[in-house]
A and B are shown apart, each in its own frame.
Chain A
């Protein structure tokens, strides 16, 4: 936004944007769903719907009164901007309301044209009080919400007392932390061990407590952490954009299935030998894929590996290979783990198995990343030619990254197949690769905590949003976009991007020539 717009202009801009968004959300009846969630009922009431409108107005007010773009943030500007936003947003929302409202009152069912706008929804929009008063009320509530938002932003959020309160509480926390008794415990000889044992114990007790649904969800998150760890080695460390990652997952799952299921091969190894075989087969596939693509970089590598992922899925599905892969029907009755003859197949057991897998995986990935090998991968990512010139065998390290990344996917696939006792071609679609790549990017390329956080965000948050029913993915998409705008380097970036920022701000331009092109590259 330009620096020198007036408060009124900023308000109008914000209002128009918000109004259009509101029209869209109303036409898809999203506002009604929100009203239902707030009212905790299946039918919206005028009160809950009004509250939703006011809430959106409030956010509009917050946006319109933000410091950026305002000439200055005195009360006059803040109120002008937020009031303008509220009014224009309300008016824009009122236009379709007027049109649709009159059609609705003529007795036409709007669902013929707009699937989501049922007569019930329309009644909610009209507050059950006729067209003109409803339009007035909508605009008034929206504008009031916006003004309140602006006032809140100026009066409460930005005021000095808030800053003082923040500083105060920070100071309190710090002094509590530095209190001798606390420090004694923290720095104590066994406390680190104690905390770690405590955390582990908690992790292992949780699956008993939170029930099978959460075991399923968290198990999926855990499997995606494993996949993410592997992907992070390939993309985040060695810098090879491999899009067909799901192929390794599929090969792990199918190795587990084919070696342990009674059909179609009837080998029926137990779970543990099959798991070992899955890891080895997946790693071997990584090496085999690595050989032909060694000299490909960037876009070309992405396209070739994308094709590889699809080839594997189509082969699995193909009729001519049904005798070997089970074809479209997939594999059934895949073995589940047992220890000393003790069956090990409840959801709690699997959650524990995945937990162990994740802990071991994180440990291995951590050791690799901060070793000589990790440094070599980073150099390959940085500049392959220089890397070779400093004596790194780049071919060897690129293949090693693929093999290890594939092995992680193999473990994930094997456990996944065993947990479901089934695997079929539809488990191994392109979306899996994209999800894993997304979680690595959202978490922060090359960052281990980022992988864990990214898995929770990508596979956990959609579960928390179940209340939103059909709108779940819409909201999730918006969240992802917002996240990448707010934190483009990822949720938990490695220290490198931070270093870059820090030193750029410190950089003094009167030294030789600046080298900004290298920085942005």
Chain B
């Protein structure tokens, strides 16, 4: 075990060993009597989620992976709440295996950290797991004290009797669970919200001290004995392979251990990263140069997609439908239509891809250290590459330096490269991608062309809405097995186009599945990152067509959504919408999954340079119950900043199959001096939690585009709103 792991996690294997000696465990949702003769001094394992040790330490399994969203703290807090644990007694154990007992129910129990689902998915099971354990502790205390369970209550990490006798959880665990039974998960008593001491309170994140002292260990930091370093020269174009490799000079570089041909690249393994990088630059490789991707050019791609969006004959997969939108629009008093475009975008997480693999000498097993959004697909990648069984994969899930969808793929090439390199040299190998490697071999938010058409009544109300999205399937590329199960419904490509927070009587959204002409992946906000741009920019144009205020026009559509109406009212109040006083404000109402957000941007446009400055942003958000308010605020604010960044600058170009951009100098993400004051209101509602990681992002680009109209009288319909596009729009 590395220092890395000791610092941040205790492996599942060690967890099991520590729990040895006790004796009872139940299956998910199952019940059993607590079997097991327990002996003094052993730990208590009521279910697979937690262990209570005689010293009072409570280990709670963290089933997701951490990339900045703070699930590492938040999910165990949910269990600790119902256990009535003292949070300071809790140690968090990273799940380091594809153990489907802990699977994400919103992803068919695959271990998958994505889609802002963590709290939403695990809220109920982890509460119930905590409540089960609390019930067993009460039973043990009742037995020990010779009273009935009903007479007892709990305080943080202790059972308290009517006479004031206190028995700590550790002490109770040590006394053993003889005679106790584990209640059914459906039968446990859960706390009322008014009783929460942890949920809804600002409990500091567990990882903040390590992340403020340089001690947090990311995959790129992992160091294991006898480890070598590798860097990979990758094929310039997707689908190509090395034909000839002249590595004479590279091998002559001091410290170089081996040059390993990979299916789509050449790995240089050396004693140091410096040697590996130097040797890589000396490789002479000829590539197959025959891939269909050689024909990919992003300008042409977007033109094709726009044609598809405009083509009434294009094949359409209905994504969402209510009433009869085409008929309503055809019969409407007035109709209006517009086309919106958006380019490829790159995740730009600051930690580039890195993984360490240590393949066993017989090639029949491996230990891997990686930061990914899925234990399941990382395990599967190692199994496939080595042709081994799951139990031969020893995984260490590391905290990630951002991800935003970057590390979600079914087949993980950086993990594969580490495994193949380690196998070749017979030593542990750390593979690191440079920033340029990550940009050039990125997996992107797809380019999209969207045609919206709507009708208006004579009195200026919306009368039919038809949203067509011409973009490829993202799932079909990054997880083809999943695509076989869900096609033609691609939530990654289409989310947001359902406009579900509005009550639109005659509604339709279609996916025109266009040919894929780049590597693709989920990206913060997934489809809503562009569908909500188009929908909310179009909504503003409709309001203008109807001669109505954009807020007033939207209010018609939230009559049946009081929580949404509240957000619009709130953000109007926060931004002083009714008194704009020469300010250029733009409104947008979007969200992510079931989380809603209304936002107002105030901008200034420099008409000589084409620069847009966002001066202020107000947001009103309803994400159901909020488990960690301070962190939720941080996530939503980060989501808004991500939205500002992608709206203003972020764009990947592809020429002849090669990504044009290289690094942060030509793929610019928002810097500190581009960030406005951001005010966030979070609605307090009595509803289940639905996620905060992405809700901040989708509303932003349309809010900026709509403010731009207020400032200039012109419409921005192609995201990002780069200075050249702004100048073209102003002078058009």
Tell whether A pairs with B. no
Taking beta carbons and an 8 Å cutoff, which residues of A are in contact with B?
A: none
Mark B residues whose CB is within 8 Å of A. Answer: none
